[in-house]
């Protein structure tokens, strides 16, 4: 009955805020990306962090300390014997002292420790991630500890910062972020490779109670259909939310649980216009990194950390030449902003692949026949040929889902296209060394035509009543696109395998934690 009321205490400073508050606002005279620091700041500070490395000498010990809020470590200097006791790699500690200008190489300031308190010890012998570079498979099996490597910590910060930059871009264009559902009675792609839910482990037991839902419920494979409804009221919507596929794919680009960035835009009746929106979004986010705008500076620091870990070197300069590290880390990003994305139809892409194959029959496989899909190898080849992102548009109708808008007859196709079969107003966006990064289309917005295609494909019309309603009442031409978020993070970071850019990866046979 004696309620206490106290003044708000804010969160204590992190290493990130400590280091950035130590930065001078004076213009840097150095040409590197490192900022100058104010010399010899001498106020008492407290640093909480984990010990990343220890160099102990007779009367002095140097510790690298990280709290994970930035890729930059604080170097802590402990003078006098025994001061570093218990401060082994992986241990957590509270260090009190003063920040001073460092005379050593590699850092601007160092923490001269006056009082060190070990909070959590770490048995260096038993600690699974003490070594500098462990195989990715070992780290995946230790996902709960993997966050402690400089690589995964940087990837997590990058993943976060990239999402914020995309959210900002969407907001600046009046898109509303919508929490589309995970549980659904629909199967958007009609693929069948869905996870089904039950509310108890043994659904078919004779004594089991009434099921939780009166019909089968799946985990969503795409938010698109669910986004189209609010798009018919809010005009521009998007979501960054989880999707699921029960596919047994064991490639470096597939997960059973993955995040998708999906957007829908009303009043859009032009495929080229849709492509421009996608291109603008991609270039905006990548441009921020290159220009150091928004979160770009932080992202560059973390990308450099990832690149160092991938090359297994402490210092990228040692392998690439002084001053080249940033340029190298960002090469794939520059490829994206340097020029307009190439736009090419599916049919023209096949003709191009055919001529590339004719020139190098021993290294380049024959193109698919018209009507077949384009393989990942061929996708990479197309992007490599144009040395940058490529939109491949107007795929054969048979290759794509029911909701895509047919290419109108008013669009002048190359002669060959017209004769080979109907196409739809869609695109795949291919990236160099990666393949498909995003895909999208204009949607069939005409009630009669959509009803016809649903019937034609033998789909259950009654399940799509609500989807048809969107066309029945105040329909609008619209289009949208989706990007595998983990693929995007994998591409930006250069990590290569989507299992290494998600906190906890799930794929066939693997759902640890």
Q: Which of residues 75-114 bind a second copy (CB under 8 A)?
A: 90-92, 94
Task: Count the neighbouring beta carbons within 10 Å of the beta carbon of residue 486.
Answer: 24
**Cβ 306 to a second copy shortest distance, Å:** 15
Question: Minimum distance between the CB of residue 318 and a second copy, rounded to whole angstroms?
Answer: 27
- 432 and 387 in contact (C-beta within 8 Å)? yes
Contacts of 385 (CB under 8 A, 6+ apart): 352, 356
- Minimal CA–CA distance to 394: which of 375, 368, 370, 376? 370
Pick one of 19, 37, 50, 187: the residue that binds a second copy (CB under 8 A): 50
User: Within 460-489, which residues bind a second copy (CB under 8 A)?
Assistant: 466-467, 469-477
Residue 454 lies near a second copy (rule: CB under 8 A): no
Tell me the three state secondary structure of residue 247.
coil
Q: For residue 178, state whether it binds a second copy (rule: CB under 8 A).
A: yes
Residue whose tokens read 């064991």: 250
Residues 214-273 that bind a second copy (CB under 8 A): 214-217, 219, 226, 229-230, 232-236, 241-242, 244, 246, 248, 256-257, 259, 265-267, 272-273
- Please name every residue paired with 110 in a beta bridge, in sequence order, or none if there are none: 75, 100
Q: Is 212 in the site for a second copy (CB under 8 A)?
A: yes
- Asked if 34 is part of the footprint of a second copy (rule: CB under 8 A), the reply reads no
Computed from CA positions of residues 237, 238, 241, 245, in that sequence, does the dihedral angle turn out positive or negative?
Answer: positive
169 binds a second copy per the rule CB under 8 A: no
338: contact with a second copy by CB under 8 A: no
419 lies in the site for a second copy, by CB under 8 A: no
* Secondary structure of residue 182 in the 3-state scheme: coil
Task: Look at phi and psi of residue 433 and say left if phi exceeds 0, alpha if psi is from -120 to 50, else beta.
Answer: left
Among 23, 83, 96, 177, binds a second copy (CB under 8 A): 177
Beta carbon nearer to a second copy, 320 or 348: 348
Give Cα 229 distance to the centre of its chain: 26
Residues 124-153 that bind a second copy (CB under 8 A): 126-127, 143-145, 147-148, 152-153
- Residue whose C-alpha is closest to residue 407's, from 424, 382, 389: 424
260: phi then psi, degrees, rounded to nearest 5: -125, 135
Distance between CA atoms of residues 279 and 341, nearest Å? 7
Nearest approach, Cβ of residue 348 and a second copy (Å): 5
**Which of 42, 117, 121, 252 is the binder for a second copy (CB under 8 A)?**
121
| Backbone angles phi and psi of 176, in degrees to 5 | -105, 130
The one among 156, 289, 299, 492 contacting a second copy by CB under 8 A: 156
Q: Least distance (Å) from a second copy to the CB of residue 351?
A: 5
Q: Which two tokens stand for residue 173?
A: 């264009």
Residue closer to a second copy by CB (options 265, 437) is 265
* 512 contacts a second copy (rule: CB under 8 A): yes
Of 218 and 253, nearer to a second copy (C-beta) is: 218
């Amino acid at each position: 009955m004696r309620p206490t009321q106290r003044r708000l205490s804010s969160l204590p400073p992190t290493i990130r805020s400590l280091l950035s508050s130590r930065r001078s606002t004076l213009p840097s005279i150095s040409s590197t990306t490192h900022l100058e620091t104010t010399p010899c700041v001498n106020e008492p500070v407290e640093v909480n962090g984990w010990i990343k490395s220890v160099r102990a000498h007779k009367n002095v010990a140097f510790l690298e300390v990280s709290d994970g809020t930035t890729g930059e470590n604080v170097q802590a200097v402990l003078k006098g014997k025994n001061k570093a006791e218990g401060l082994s790699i992986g241990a957590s500690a509270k260090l009190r002292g003063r920040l001073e200008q460092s005379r050593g190489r590699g850092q601007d300031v160092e923490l001269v420790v006056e009082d060190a308190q070990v909070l959590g010890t770490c048995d260096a012998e038993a600690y699974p991630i003490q070594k500098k570079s462990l195989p990715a498979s070992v780290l995946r099996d230790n996902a709960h500890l993997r966050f402690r490597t400089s690589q995964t910590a940087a990837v997590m910060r990058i993943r976060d910062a990239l999402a914020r930059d995309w959210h900002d871009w969407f907001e600046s264009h009046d898109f509303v972020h919508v929490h589309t559902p995970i549980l659904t009675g629909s199967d958007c792609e009609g693929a069948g490779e869905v996870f089904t839910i039950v509310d108890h482990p043994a659904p078919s037991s004779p004594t089991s109670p009434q099921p939780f839902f009166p019909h089968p419920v799946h985990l969503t494979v795409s938010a698109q259909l669910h986004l189209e409804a609010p798009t018919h009221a809010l005009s521009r919507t998007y979501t960054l939310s989880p999707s699921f596929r029960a596919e047994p794919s064991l490639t470096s680009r597939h997960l059973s649980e993955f995040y998708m960035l999906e957007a829908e835009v009303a009043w859009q009746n032009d495929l080229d216009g849709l492509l421009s929106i996608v291109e603008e979004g991609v270039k905006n986010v990548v441009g921020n990194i290159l220009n150091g705008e928004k979160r770009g500076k932080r992202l560059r620091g973390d990308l450099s950390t990832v690149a160092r870990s991938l090359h297994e070197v402490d210092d990228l300069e040692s392998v690439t030449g002084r001053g080249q590290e940033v340029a190298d880390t960002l090469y794939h990003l520059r490829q994206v902003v340097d020029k307009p994305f190439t736009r090419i139809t599916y049919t023209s892409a096949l003709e191009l692949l055919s001529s590339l194959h004719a020139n190098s029959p021993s290294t380049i496989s024959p193109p698919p026949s018209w009507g077949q899909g384009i393989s990942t190898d061929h996708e990479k080849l197309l992007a490599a040929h144009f040395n940058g992102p490529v939109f491949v548009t107007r795929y054969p109708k048979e290759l794509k889902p029911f909701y895509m808008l047919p290419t109108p007859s008013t669009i002048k196709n190359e002669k060959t296209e017209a004769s080979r079969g109907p196409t739809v107003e869609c695109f795949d966006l291919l990236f160099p060394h990666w393949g498909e990064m995003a895909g999208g289309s204009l949607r069939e917005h005409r009630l009669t035509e959509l009803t016809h295609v649903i019937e034609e494909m033998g789909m259950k019309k009654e399940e799509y009543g609500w989807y048809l309603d969107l066309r029945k009442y105040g329909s609008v031409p619209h289009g949208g696109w989706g990007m595998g978020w983990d693929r995007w993070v994998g591409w930006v970071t250069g990590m290569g395998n989507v299992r290494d850019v998600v906190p906890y990866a799930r794929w066939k046979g693997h759902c640890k934690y």
